Amino acid sequence: MSRHGFELKTNEQIILMRQAGLATAAGLDAIRKLIRAGITTLELDKAADDAIRAHGGHSNFQLVEGYKHTICASVNDEVVHGIPGNRVLQPGDIVSIDCGAEIGEWNGDSAVTFIVPGGDPEVAAKRQLLSDITEQSLWAGIAALANATYLNEVGMAIEEYVYSQGNYGILEEYVGHGIGRSMHEDPAVYNYRVRGNGPKVVPGLVVAIEPMVTAGSAVTKVLGDGWTVSTKDASDASHWEHTVAVHEGGIWVLTAADGGAAGLAKFGIKPVPLA
């Protein structure tokens, strides 16, 4: 246990969490291969579920009370918690897919934003840029974690990067979190500057870092389904997430197939897998 009351993971536990991370990555990879105009978000949900099961895992989203699906699919002005259904994706849609898997008692959690090919090239380019900025802010946060003394340095790095790119919004009502035996554990991982330092970054800390960035205002509303979070001003949104472990040797991005090597390269950081 850490001084703050959440469980620090042993190397052996982190290795088990890697398996859940890879099953989560497989779920998102299945969607990457399928996503196109004309497909429904429910079809994507099924593909992710099949891929997670093929990896020996099961959906942990289905363990959240009242939720029956494997992914959240949030389209255009929807930021997070969109429910898969009969919505047919259109050319140029920006779609954030959040996915998680559990193997044994260990969890993974990751999100990716896709731009559906086609549509108005100008709109698609703007949406791709929003997704790229959000993804890069995630890697900036992960890179900050690698060198951080305190956890709040992650949010500082994310905020600094996002605001350096223009007049974008960062959601504040929804944040990242510790992860382990449950998908959502303490501590909170903010995507913006906060006053407190937060817990010390020590070996055994495993967190899901997940910036949610909007092209306009970051003020949101929850739709009538009770789940879907969308921007109040109807501006586009993007969500990227990885589960990241800190251990004695360094950091390891558990939900990235390459452990985070590609995303961290430009920061001069090499992830350190455990074996």
Per CB under 5 A, residues contacting Mg ion are: 98, 109, 111, 208, 210, 241
* Least Å from the CB of residue 184 to Mg ion: 7
Judged by beta carbon, residue 135 or residue 210, the one nearer Mg ion is 210
* CA separation, residue 29 to residues 79, 95, 116, 126, 223 (Å): 20, 14, 15, 23, 28
* Least Å from the CB of residue 208 to Mg ion: 4
Estimate to the nearest angstrom the gap between the alpha carbon of 45 and the chain centroid.
Answer: 16
* CA separation, residue 203 to residues 2, 229, 249 (Å): 10, 34, 8
Can you tell me the distance from the alpha carbon of 9 to that of 229, in angstroms, rounded to the nearest whole number? 32
* Least Å from the CB of residue 72 to Mg ion: 7
* Least Å from the CB of residue 20 to Mg ion: 13
Can you tell me the distance from the alpha carbon of 170 to that of 96, in angstroms, rounded to the nearest whole number? 15
Q: What tokens were used for 53?
A: 């099961």
Judged by beta carbon, residue 94 or residue 138, the one nearer Mg ion is 138
Can you tell me the distance from the alpha carbon of 2 to that of 200, in angstroms, rounded to the nearest whole number? 9
* Least Å from the CB of residue 41 to Mg ion: 16
Can you tell me the distance from the alpha carbon of 161 to that of 168, in angstroms, rounded to the nearest whole number? 10
237 CB contacts (<8 Å, ≥6 apart)?
Answer: 74, 76, 77, 78, 79, 94, 96, 130, 212, 213, 214, 215, 230, 231
Judged by beta carbon, residue 115 or residue 175, the one nearer Mg ion is 175
Answer positive or negative: Cα dihedral of 230, 233, 237, 242.
negative
